[in-house]
Structure 1
């Protein structure tokens, strides 16, 4: 499995590991944003984007919640 400075390539992760990596990176995002160095935030953002893009690539037809769409947001705000 090819690796780079930020961990194994997202494309090479099996499904369960991809989900665990996504959970971990989302769990640490706020702390990195508030207290991480500029380099740490850039690295975190790149890895998060890589993992998220891989998940979306694998699941283009994933279930979407209507409330999480633009039209759903407009409905909540009364537009």
Structure 2
């Protein structure tokens, strides 16, 4: 189930805004959201991150970054 604009239809600025919004609300959703809200949050985050990786396959990767 997808609600909102499909990730592939978002301009870059909106994709980044959506990702930032989800990152900012992650802990609150994890701690206080219903199971359905958490499942939706998880799926939306995955969908947006997959789209980010599709657009930026050569992103700058720090080999020393382990976490």
TM-score (norm 1): 0.78
- 4+ aligned runs moved over 4 Å, structure 1: none
Deviation at 1:53, TM superposition (A): 0.3
**Unaligned segments of structure 1, at least 5 residues:** 74-79
Q: How many residues are treated as equivalent by the alignment? A: 67
Tell me how large the CA RMSD over aligned residues is: 1.5
Q: What is the DSSP-based 3-state SS (H/G/I as helix, E as strand, rest coil) of the residue aligned with 1:7? A: coil
Bigger proportion of residues as strand? 1
TM-score (norm 2): 0.91
1:17-74 Cα deviation digits (max 9, x unpaired): 00000000011011100110000000000000000000001000000122224xxx7x
Paired residues of 2:7 and 2:51 also in contact (CA < 8 A): yes
